[in-house]
Structure 1
Amino acid sequence: MPAAFAPLRHPAFRLLWWANLAANIGLWVQNTGAGWMMTSLDPSPAMVSAVQAASMLPVFLLALPAGAAADIIDRRIYLIGAQAWVFSVASMLALLTWAGVVGPWTLLFFTFCIGTGNALNFPAWAATTPELVPREDLVQAIALNGIGFNLSRAVGPAIGGFAIALAGTEAAFALNAVCFLTLLLSLLFWKRAKPENPLPPEHFLGAMRAGVRFVFASPAMRATILRACVFFFFTAAVWGMLPLVVRHRLGLGPEAYGMMLGVMGVGAVATGFALPALRTRLPTRGGMVTAFSLVSAAALALLGVSGHWLPAGISMLMFGAGWLAAASTLQAAAQFATPAWVRARAIGIYQLCFFGAMTLGAVLWGWAGSHLGVGPALLFAAAAAAVSAVAVRGWRLDAAPAPEAPSVPLPNPEAPAAELRSVLAENSGRVVEQVRYSIDPKDRHAFLVAMREARRVRLRSGAAAWRLMEDVAHPERWVEIWAVESWTEHLREAGRLDAADRAALARAAAFHQGDEPPEATRYIAIAP
């Protein structure tokens, strides 16, 4: 099997990839039907544009809550529930449209409801991909997901247009329901191996807080979000100004606009198939994003100077290539930067940030186009995109090789006293943990460097607060203090530490002087 299709050799991924392709086609059919129907119900530009806003607004409102729910609920059950919701709402919209009782605000309400189901689905589906393929196939699996999305974007509106022409808008809505039914049935056939966890599920609000703390304490995830925001903010100029380029600069109609989007899809699909070969030439994820950010910037510049459909088409072909390669690589970087226990909510935060950057960019570049002119605005966006891509290349997307971990025992607190076990429950008070170190003063600087990484490890694994204290009378005495929200949250800490985290803690513990490991103690808050 060619390397580009290697993930499809895994039966579960193959099943869900085809089903997700059908669901994405249904989504574009739905968007086409809703936009066309609104032009009949209320043709004002504000109401027509509100259809797109209603479908995207739930992503901003629900990205983090949806990610938290997907992490604390069995992911298969969660995805089945999300698809069942979309299927039910889409079916109801088709029936009401057939009955002739849908008005403009009813259409916006149902569009928002369908968008809610899709917003719930996005982070869960992204977090599911690593469960379906081994690590070596993950990047290409994400690329295949991008290929599927671009294929659906190319054929979905056309299918929707034919459905509307043949049987009315209700046929497009019904087709969307059938497509999501296909994904629902595929999820029912998926036999997911449920992870074993003796601890109770996390509380919803606590899970969201843990996800935010993880992202802030993860340099790799912060770098991925920053570089994604930079890329999507500047390249969003295409979405804001392509219709104006086609209509006013090229003097062409809506068919040409659709063709330009189709050409972009061709560039994206072709690049997705070529990614395995490209990764041999650009082996680092950071290098791949920088290179294809520059390709996208060149495409913006070419579009900005185009006065004929041919160079404009070439620019869209280049843009599709740059968009797919950079976006799929950033998505892969987000996957690699997050462990399984927090993956869906961390990716939800990532999606919230890049959707926000893309939406803000489309609005601001559209404003720039109306004041500066479309061509100058695109050229300015291209220059800013190229400069920014080079400026942020130092934010690493690939983890640096960690120093070898010293073979020292980690601090291990004593077991809880029997008489206190009754208060050590899920709803216990905050737990404060301490580790006491004895450090040679000449190692002070190196110890502080090691403790900076230890701080990030504690925060990533659930600490709500962290402090390092130095004894002012005895400079060799140090105390590391951190707090977690409950005893159950404390028990989760050990399961959240991976090999790199334990190595970082071992490097800090190696500075301790004495025959015994650093002393570790735990305290629980008790109301007087």
Structure 2
Amino acid sequence: MPLPASLAPLRHQVFRMLWSANVVVSLGVWLQNTGAGWLMTSLAPDAFTVSLVQAATILPVFLLALPAGALADIVDKRLFILGTQTWMLAAAALLTVLTFTGQTGIWSLLALTFAIGAGAAMNSPAWGSVMAEVVPRHDLVQAIALNGVGFNLARAVGPAIAGFLLLFGGPAVTFGLNAVSYLAVIVVLLSWRRRVRRSALPREQLLSAMRVGMRFVRYTPVMRAAMLRSAAFFGPAAAPWAMLPLIVKQQLGMGAATYGMLLGLMGAGGVTAGLILPQIRRHFGRGNIVFLSTICSCSGMVVVAVSTHWLPAAVGMVLFGLGWVASSAVAQGAAQLSAPAWVRSRALAIYQLAFNGAMILGTFFWGWLATEMGLTVSMLAAAGTGLVLSVFARSWDIDAEPHAGGVRAPAPPSPEAVAPEFVSVVRDARGRVLESQHYRIDPARQEAFLSVMAEVHDVRGRAGAVGWQLYQDVAHPEAWLEVWWVESWTDHLREAMRMSEDDRTTVARAQAFHVSDPVPPSRYLAVSPQHLPEPKAAGQRPAA
């Protein structure tokens, strides 16, 4: 019997194994987060200090996401993820021992929470790009949604379990079970024989790979829009994460079990959103789904803000969870679909910088505002800010679809072969490479040509160009010269493989404006005049 559309990605065995392991780890994460948040309310019961637990979880992502994404694109992702899982296991085990022996204080709790967050930050870009490897493109958005479902299944039961564990066993038990959960992913990864594609080109250097990733995001409109939409949502949506423990304790007058129950109901809302998302996507575009999801989450925040009883707060958390998962799955899906495999981890890392940067700023700000003006005012202000930003964010388009197959775009024009005497020179060169392409354009079509060249500018940037410029010949107005430059000869060799089908089509459209015989692009290697032979003086005899 075929699976329903909401579960379709689970028919792929590797995805199913990884997804199941991730559910176990997510359960451990929620035990950890719930235990850490509640422990901090005992160590320092004020809004700002409690919000630091959430900040310590998010801050590593903000600091480490980009180098982590670059590393994940450079090395074997499977081995990389194994390393990050082992690191988190060790940090969680140490926190367990310290808490069990009564030695955990404010700063040790924050430090080890930060260490676990650092492992998660290093893991996340690689994990997201691996998920894109193990499902076909048409299943990717729902696979991301299912990851959200798994995370929220864990959220639905994890905090509730954590609440009882905190009541009868204390935080050390929740921390210990989190440490054990990482073994699930480690076992699955050890059994997975991932196919690694080998390249004849040298491996990218870390700093260069980071710069290329940033240029890709800068010149990819859908990626930029997804980042902005996410930041507009997650900044205000950080408020419940920062303040829920204190809302439960001070506003509702309840204990750990209620805190866990409310987080669980938020997870239930997230699970519901993931399961109904295929039906929603049939009727609404990505941008509209994110907009409606923001309204849903902000409405839930308003309900929680004014609640003095657990029942309306529970309804509010369900609404918040519905919007949270739908918005994050759709926005991240747009980001992933716009990023090809060679740069996917870096692109996802930079995307995560946007929403985690917004989350950490929101966590600090709403925590501070709650300390100064009260929990209710802070939550209402966050909800209002989210609604206002969602209206402005609608102009950032995330609905554009990349090339989905069909007729293959023509390859870009090939340059002339390297001269024999330069073969060894370019192989060992470390300087920049300047490239140029000549065009001869019918003046009547100049405006259309310039419009396409604006797109070519983005194509060159996505492929790694450090700079780009278009010139017009002042003596021959029909003659144009496109110039761009890359960091190294190796980056130049990677340009063709970095171009997507859409990029090749754009370059072909620009070439179609050329009215005379095709002109191959030229390549120039940067040289230093100090390294050239000095000119001989007049009358000087050459050396024998």
Structure 1 and Structure 2 fold alike (TM over 0.5): yes
What is the match of residue 489 of structure 1?
A: 491
Structure-2 separation of matches of 1:47 and 1:363: 10
2:92 maps to what in 1? 90
Aligned ranges for residues 385-404 of structure 1 at < 5 Å?
385-399=386-400
Q: Give yes or no for contact 1:265–1:320 (8 Å, CA) kept in 2.
A: yes
Matches within 5 A, 1:223-238: 223-238=225-240
Give, as a single letter, the amino acid of the residue that structure 1 aligns with 2:57: S
**Amino acid aligned to 1:148:** G
- 1:70 Cα shift? 0.5
Instruction: Determine which of 81, 97, 115 is the counterpart of 1:113.
Output: 115
Greater Cα shift, 113-122 or 493-502: 113-122
Q: CA deviation at 1:440?
A: 1.8
Alignment length (residue pairs): 524
Deviations 1:69-106 (A, max 9, x none): 00111111111111122223333444565666666544
Partner of residue 417, structure 1: 419
Give the whole-Å Cα distance in 1 for the aligned partners of 2:257 and 2:349. 35
Residues in 2 aligned to 1:5 and 1:33: alpha-carbon distance in whole angstroms = 31
Q: Does 1:519 align with 2:520?
A: yes
1:209 aligns with: 211
How far apart, in 1, do the equivalents of 2:402 and 2:186 lie?
Answer: 42
SS at match of 2:427: coil
Q: CA deviation at 1:157?
A: 3.6
The answer for the alignment partner of 2:535 in structure 1 is: none
Corresponding residue of 1:20: 22
CA distance in 1, matches of 2:270, 2:91: 31
Do 2:433 and 2:526's aligned partners in 1 also have CA atoms closer than 8 Å? yes
**Is residue 466–residue 482 contact of structure 1 (8 Å, CA) maintained in 2?**
yes
Aligned to 1:155: 157
Aligned counterparts of 1:159 and 1:304: Cα–Cα separation in 2: 25
Matches of 1:181 and 1:294, distance apart in 2? 38
- 1:210 corresponds to which letter in structure 2? V
- Secondary structure (helix, strand or coil) at the match of 1:467 reads strand
Query: 2:91 and 2:370 mapped to 1: Cα distance?
Result: 38
CA contact (8 A) 1:410 1:517 kept: no
Moved more, 64-73 or 19-28: 19-28
**1:56 Cα deviation (Å)?**
2.8
Q: CA separation of 1:372/1:111 partners in 2, compared to 1, >3 Å: closer, same or farther?
A: closer
Distance 1:170 1:315 in 2: 30
8 Å Cα contact 1:297-1:383 kept in structure 2: yes
Does the 8 Å contact 1:213/1:462 carry over to 2?
Answer: yes
1:432-490 C-alpha deviation (Å, 9 max, x unpaired)? 10001111222221111110100100000111111111112221111111111111111
Q: Structure 1 365/332 Cα, relative in aligned 2: closer, same or farther at 3 Å? A: same
The equivalent residue for 2:507 is 505
| Cα 1:208/1:164, change in 2 over 3 Å | same
1:349 corresponding residue in structure 2: 350
Contact kept, 8 Å, 1:58 with 1:115, in 2: the verdict is yes
Q: CA deviation at 1:512?
A: 0.9
Q: CA deviation at 1:124?
A: 0.9
What CA distance in whole angstroms lies between the structure 2 residues aligned with 1:38 and 1:407? Answer: 57
1:259: Cα distance to partner?
2.6
Cα distance in 2 for partners of 1:276, 1:90 equals 36
Distance 2:76 2:215 in 1: 22
Change (3 A) 1:9 1:221: same
In the TM superposition, what is the alpha-carbon distance from 1:495 to its structure 2 partner?
Answer: 0.4
> What does residue 189 of structure 1 align with?
191
- Which residue is 2:140 aligned to? 138
Deviation at 1:116?
1.6
Provide the TM-score with structure 2 as the length reference. Answer: 0.88
1:64 aligned residue: 66
Task: Say if 1:142 and 1:87 are closer, same or farther in 2 by CA, change over 3 A.
Answer: same
Cα distance in structure 2, aligned partners of 1:125 and 1:348: 11
Partner of 2:13: 11
AA aligned to 2:93 is S
Aligned-residue offset at 1:140: 1.3
Alpha carbons 1:232, 1:354 under 8 Å: kept: yes
**Equivalent residues in 2 for 1:35-54 (5 A)?**
35=37, 42-43=43-44, 45=46, 50-54=52-56
Deviation at 1:368, TM superposition (A): 4.3
CA distance in 2, matches of 1:21, 1:249: 32
Q: CA contact under 8 A between 2:159 and 2:261: conserved in structure 1?
A: no
* Cα distance change, pair 36–334 in 1 and its aligned pair in 2 (3 A): same
- Flag the 1:178–1:373 CA change in 2: closer, same or farther, 3 A: closer
SS at match of 1:19: helix
Moved more, 464-473 or 65-74: 464-473
Identity among equivalent positions (%) equals 50
Distance 1:244 1:35, change over 3 A: closer
Deviates more, 1:285-294 or 1:333-342: 285-294
> 2:467 maps to which residue?
465
Using the TM superposition, give the Cα deviation of residue 222 of structure 1 relative to its aligned residue in structure 2, in angstroms.
0.4
| Alignment of 1:293 onto 2:294 | yes
- Residue type at the aligned position of 1:79: I
Q: For residues 363 and 103 of structure 1, what CA distance do their matches in structure 2 show? A: 21
TM-aligned CA distance change 1:39 to 1:408, over 3 Å: closer
Residues 43 and 314 of structure 1: CA distance in aligned 2, closer, same or farther (over 3 Å): closer
Distance 1:420 1:6, change over 3 A: same
1:273 Cα deviation from its structure 2 partner? 1.2
CA-CA distance at 1:307 after TM superposition? 4.9
1:359–1:245 distance in 2 versus 1, CA, 3 Å: same
In the alignment, the residues of structure 1 paired with residue 89 and residue 204 of structure 2 have an alpha-carbon distance, to the nearest angstrom, of: 29
RMSD between superposed Cα atoms in Å: 2.8
Deviation string 1:18-39 (CA, Å, 9 cap, x unpaired) is 1111112222333344456667
5 Å-filtered alignment, 1:192-271, equals: 192-243=194-245, 245-247=247-249, 249-271=251-273
Query: Greater shift after overlay, 162-171 or 381-390?
Result: 162-171
CA 75–458 in structure 1, closer or farther in 2 if over 3 Å, else same = same
Whether the aligned pair in 1 keeps the contact of 2:54 and 2:242 (CA below 8 Å) is no
Query: Which position in structure 2 is the counterpart of 1:29?
Result: 31
Q: Quote the Cα distance in structure 1 between the aligned partners of 2:300 and 2:167.
A: 35
**Counterpart of 1:21 in structure 2: which amino acid?**
V
Which residue does 2:315 correspond to in 1?
314
Tell whether the 8 Å contact from 1:461 to 1:496 is kept in structure 2 after alignment.
Answer: yes
Q: Distance in 1 between matches of 2:490 and 2:365?
A: 46
